[in-house]
A and B are shown apart, each in its own frame.
Chain A
Amino acid sequence: MITMRDFFTGRLVPVLTILAAIVVIWYGAAVALNAPVLRDFEKRAGEQTQGMEFILKTWSQPKPTMPAPHQVAAAFWKYTVGVKLSSNRSLIYHSWVTLSATLLGFAMGTALGVVIAISIVHVPALDKSLLPWIITSQTVPILAVAPMIIVLLAAIGVTGLLPKALISTYLSFFPVAVGMVKGLRSPDILHMDLMRTYSASRSQVLWKLRIPASVPFFFASIKVAIAASLIGAIVGELPTGAVAGIGSKLLAGSYYSQTIDIFAALIAGSICAILLVTLVDITGRFVERRMGVKP
């Protein structure tokens, strides 16, 4: 059991300390990065502000190089709570568009990764032949491949959710395949011998021993996979000029130099990532509890 006290000293205090440090550094960076542009501007306008007044100005530019935290927070608030869910400006709506592609891609990637891992563990020839290709697949830069996939699929009439989800799949199957190969091979020799004394079939060994033994590996790898899926979905939204999704907001923001909007969209993306990873974590803990893991 985590008591309130443990929670505060063990979790909350360190997390808040880091957060405070980030905010301080961020404000500092906003001054440093916005100062040259602002000085330039003031020189042309013939103004000259100094000290605190100047610093405050760097934190309140309409199109800053680096928006200040409170500007991002205000924009984030406006685009989440301040607009209707159905609005094209709602970050919740756009997050949902991205999340649905993420989850579809993640589900397909996880399934593919597990199937590949089971095949590799059961067919020795695949271990040698398939694994190098899988590793090679991940050395291809996704930013280069994504537009090709999107354009090719659009050419055969596949648009919308699926192309983005496929990029998520491409990124997420890999950690699952690698983690599950390890997990499915993790049973003790002793346990394998025990199953042999029962003359258990390969599928019985798989279901009763390999798969339960691989559960911790599974959750460790889908935690990586779900984050990769989110990246994949966002990247998938970039090249198409997609009309919706966090990626489209990032792109629109950069067209019009709306740095504050870009940051607000980034925050939305980070919150999605945290939510997804936390969800995986909680599920993993619940499953391990059910499997009798020592608390």
Chain B
Amino acid sequence: MSTMPVISARNLDLVFQTGDGSVQALSDITLDIEKGEFVSLIGPSGCGKTTLLRVIADLEKPTAGSITVNGTTPENARLDGAYGYVFQQAALFPWRTIADNVALPLEIMGLGAEEKASRIKRNLDLVNLTGFEKKFPWQLSGGMQQRASIARALAVEPDMLLMDEPFGALDEIVRDHLNEELLKLWATTKKTVVFVTHSIPEAVYLSTRIVVMSPRPGRIHEIIDCDLGDDRPLDIRETPEFLRIAHQVRDGLREGHSDEA
């Protein structure tokens, strides 16, 4: 059973009905993700990356095809607390302090006070927000807010992380740091990560596989294997192997675009 994929999507379609017609957000998506993989979804905006992540998270229902998460329906998986989700925006509650925001899912899980406090401390540490526990979200920069939202997702200690362009709004230095931290976390915990990004270097640096998507309708153009080994210092980004994969991703993106009729 150890080979059963954590996520298994078969011929997924998703059509949104809107006021002025329908939008095919996903078309014929077939994808297996194994336990412990780090899979990036990359592609131009509107190609369905967010929608695919939301289908996995049971925030959206596909209109055709089938999908299992942890061998069961996405709904059951969600109810089991299978994943932690990081949204594109921080989505902090403005009336809660940073620490209380991280506490939110822990309260819902019904954790004890001690366990809650230690998870809050550990995860705020991890994203370098120690000392900001009592601040309200508006007192923090956008980047710090996003780090708080990552701490909140990690505090749940899920086996799987679904991250929608979590570092999109951050500056380069913070982004590098969080990329390193995320990689470390992934290497030590062997969590499954599905990661949406716009950035080719970020995808190549982090992933074991890169799913290149193309728009209208949103579909998978190409899946690129990308294993740079467990030990990846930041300057691995200058090695020929890294550049070769980055090139391949760029070509894939370009082809995906020119597929358009």
Known: A190-B89, A197-B85, A294-B138. A215 touches B95 (CB 8 A): yes
When C-beta atoms are compared, the residue in chain B nearest to A191 turns out to be B91
Chain A residues with Cβ below 8 Å from B257 are: none
Interface string of A207-233 (1 = CB under 8 A from B): 011001101000000000000000000
Say whether B124 faces chain A, with CB atoms less than 8 Å apart: no
When C-beta atoms are compared, the residue in chain B nearest to A292 turns out to be B136
Q: Chain B contact residues (Cβ within 8 angstroms of A): what range?
A: 20 to 34
Cα(A197)–Cα(B162), bound, Å = 11
Chain A residues with Cβ below 8 Å from B137 are: 292
Chain A residues with Cβ below 8 Å from B87 are: 190, 193-194
Say whether B230 faces chain A, with CB atoms less than 8 Å apart: no
Interface string of A76-107 (1 = CB under 8 A from B): 00000000000000000000000000000000
Asked if B59 and A208 sit within 8 Å, CB to CB, the answer is: no
Chain A residues with Cβ below 8 Å from B138 are: 292, 294
Known: A193-B87, A292-B136. A199 touches B78 (CB 8 A): yes
When C-beta atoms are compared, the residue in chain B nearest to A290 turns out to be B95
Choice from B58, B83, B94, B108 contacting A204 with Cβ under 8 Å? B108
Number of A positions contacting B (CB below 8 A): 21
Say whether A42 faces chain B, with CB atoms less than 8 Å apart: no
Asked if B78 and A197 sit within 8 Å, CB to CB, the answer is: yes
Say whether A7 faces chain B, with CB atoms less than 8 Å apart: no
Say whether A196 faces chain B, with CB atoms less than 8 Å apart: yes
Asked if A188 and B91 sit within 8 Å, CB to CB, the answer is: yes
Chain A residues with Cβ below 8 Å from B91 are: 188, 190-191, 193-194
Interface string of B68-104 (1 = CB under 8 A from A): 0000000000110101110101010111110000001
When C-beta atoms are compared, the residue in chain A nearest to B158 turns out to be A197
Asked if A292 and B59 sit within 8 Å, CB to CB, the answer is: no
The smallest beta-carbon distance between B136 and chain A, in angstroms, is: 3
Asked if A191 and B59 sit within 8 Å, CB to CB, the answer is: no
Say whether A200 faces chain B, with CB atoms less than 8 Å apart: yes
Asked if A212 and B93 sit within 8 Å, CB to CB, the answer is: yes
Choice from B84, B95, B104 contacting A292 with Cβ under 8 Å? B95
The smallest beta-carbon distance between A266 and chain B, in angstroms, is: 40
Chain A residues with Cβ below 8 Å from B156 are: 198
Chain B residues with Cβ below 8 Å from A195 are: 108
The smallest beta-carbon distance between B149 and chain A, in angstroms, is: 9
Chain B residues with Cβ below 8 Å from A209 are: 93
Say whether A1 faces chain B, with CB atoms less than 8 Å apart: no
Interface string of A140-182 (1 = CB under 8 A from B): 0000000000000000000000000000000000000000000
Asked if B95 and A291 sit within 8 Å, CB to CB, the answer is: yes
The smallest beta-carbon distance between B120 and chain A, in angstroms, is: 16
Chain A residues with Cβ below 8 Å from B105 are: 198
The smallest beta-carbon distance between B72 and chain A, in angstroms, is: 14
Cα(A204)–Cα(B105), bound, Å = 11
Chain B residues with Cβ below 8 Å from A294 are: 136, 138
Cα(A291)–Cα(B137), bound, Å = 11
Say whether B125 faces chain A, with CB atoms less than 8 Å apart: no
When C-beta atoms are compared, the residue in chain B nearest to A199 turns out to be B79
Chain B residues with Cβ below 8 Å from A199 are: 78-79, 81, 108
Asked if A212 and B89 sit within 8 Å, CB to CB, the answer is: no
Chain A residues with Cβ below 8 Å from B136 are: 292, 294
When C-beta atoms are compared, the residue in chain A nearest to B162 turns out to be A197
When C-beta atoms are compared, the residue in chain B nearest to A197 turns out to be B85
Cα(A196)–Cα(B83), bound, Å = 12
Chain A residues with Cβ below 8 Å from B84 are: 197
When C-beta atoms are compared, the residue in chain B nearest to A187 turns out to be B93
Chain B residues with Cβ below 8 Å from A291 are: 95
Cα(A291)–Cα(B96), bound, Å = 7
Say whether B57 faces chain A, with CB atoms less than 8 Å apart: yes
Cα(A213)–Cα(B92), bound, Å = 12
Interface string of B51-63 (1 = CB under 8 A from A): 0000001110000
Cα(A188)–Cα(B58), bound, Å = 18
When C-beta atoms are compared, the residue in chain A nearest to B100 turns out to be A292
Say whether B255 faces chain A, with CB atoms less than 8 Å apart: no
The smallest beta-carbon distance between A209 and chain B, in angstroms, is: 7
Chain A residues with Cβ below 8 Å from B32 are: none
Chain B residues with Cβ below 8 Å from A193 are: 59, 87, 91
The smallest beta-carbon distance between A169 and chain B, in angstroms, is: 29
Known: A190-B87, A193-B59, A292-B138. A198 touches B93 (CB 8 A): no
Asked if A197 and B93 sit within 8 Å, CB to CB, the answer is: no
Asked if A292 and B94 sit within 8 Å, CB to CB, the answer is: yes
A-B contact list, 12 entries, CB within 8 Å: A190-B89, A191-B93, A193-B59, A193-B91, A194-B87, A197-B84, A198-B81, A198-B104, A198-B105, A199-B79, A200-B108, A209-B93
Residues of B with Cβ closer than 8 Å to A? Answer: 57-59, 78-79, 81, 83-85, 87, 89, 91, 93-97, 104-105, 107-109, 136-138, 156
5 extra A-B contacts, CB within 8 A, seeds A190-B87, A293-B94: A197-B57, A197-B85, A198-B104, A208-B104, A292-B96
Residues of A with Cβ closer than 8 Å to B? Answer: 188, 190-191, 193-200, 204, 208-209, 212-213, 215, 291-294
Q: Closest 5 interchain pairs by CB? A: A292-B136, A291-B95, A197-B85, A198-B108, A190-B91
